[in-house]
Amino acid sequence: MKTYVLYNQKSNNGAGLGGAEKLKEIWKDKELDFVNALELDDYAGFFCGLAPDDVVCVCGGDGTLNYLINNVDCDKITNKIFYYPTGSGNDFWTDIEKKPGDAPEQINKYLINLPVVTVNGKTSKFINGVGYGIDGYCCEEGDRQREKSDKPINYTSIAIKGMLYKYKPTNAVVEVDGKICTFNHAWLAPTMKGRFYGGGMMAAPHQNRLDPDRKVTCMVMYGAGKLRTLIAFPKIFKGEHVKTKLVNVIKGKRIKVRFDRPVALQIDGETVLNVKEYFVDSK
């Protein structure tokens, strides 16, 4: 039996190995074999080559988990897979009600039966959520800032400045399990597998990622101008935005969202540019 620590060096602005090495103190009784995920020629092959009793602890952020679920058939993995967050946002970790510094958690049950999203002809799985609207803009702007500086990205600041100056809302058509709704002046229209995204925003406070019916949540913030939206926006960090008149929450298994102009979209924090619509299938 071996215990592999599969770490993402790029997580948390290049501090991934340092974060992963904290496991030496947490798992003192285990002999750990550290593997740099970025140096693996065959990511899926690594998992296929495990002995039946080998254990893997994945270290990284939400993007690392997204890479795992899209490059390995996690539904067929029989080895125990643990997770220890070393990213910057760590929304998955927050959603499963873990805190910074907690011991690694086995996550096999969270890696199966995941929804897929189709964007610009490409289909992929997601573990937290698909952000569309100003949240996608925030990721786009964050990517720009990251190219210029290694300072931490303040997404809250980007969102506020975007609402005030740069981002313009759209009209949206949302179809959930065949039922169509239209929304004018839409600022946000994410679809969520978990409750959190964007480094701590509780976009869908009533979403259960282990929902036996496999339903996901589409949350639309719409209908108001800059000032009213800006006043209501901070409520999203506690999930209280869903109590306002500016938000509509719809649950279902097949969700299509279409905007009247292309904007940026994010999938578990990874940016996709120039998107007019996305389709989520959770069946």
CATH number for the segment(s) 116-281: 2.60.200.40
Q: Specify the domain boundaries for CATH 2.60.200.40 within the chain.
A: 116-281
**β-pair partners for 105:** 83
pLDDT digits (tens, 9 = 90+) for 166-222: 899 999 999 999 999 999 999 999 999 999 998 899 999 999 999 999 999 999 999
Instruction: State residue 90's pLDDT score.
Output: 93
Instruction: State residue 48's pLDDT score.
Output: 92
Instruction: State residue 149's pLDDT score.
Output: 81
For the question of whether the overall pTM of this predicted structure is more than 0.75, the answer is yes
Q: Which residues are within 8 A (CB) of 227 and not within 5 positions of it... i.e. 6 or more apart?
A: none
Rounded-to-integer distance, Cα 52 and Cα 208, Å: 31
Rounded-to-integer distance, Cα 163 and Cα 151, Å: 22
Residue 18 φ then ψ, to 5°? -60, -40
pLDDT digits (tens, 9 = 90+) for 232-241: 999 999 999 9
Rounded-to-integer distance, Cα 187 and Cα 222, Å: 6
CATH number for the segment(s) 3-110: 3.40.50.10330
Q: What is the DSSP letter of 164?
A: I
Q: Specify the domain boundaries for CATH 3.40.50.10330 within the chain.
A: 3-110
Per-residue pLDDT band for 161 (boundaries 50, 70, 90) equals confident
pLDDT digits (tens, 9 = 90+) for 254-279: 999 999 999 999 999 899 999 999 99
Decide: 239 and 205 in contact? Cβ < 8 Å: yes
**How many helices (H) and strands (E) would you count in the chain?**
9, 17
Instruction: State residue 250's pLDDT score.
Output: 97
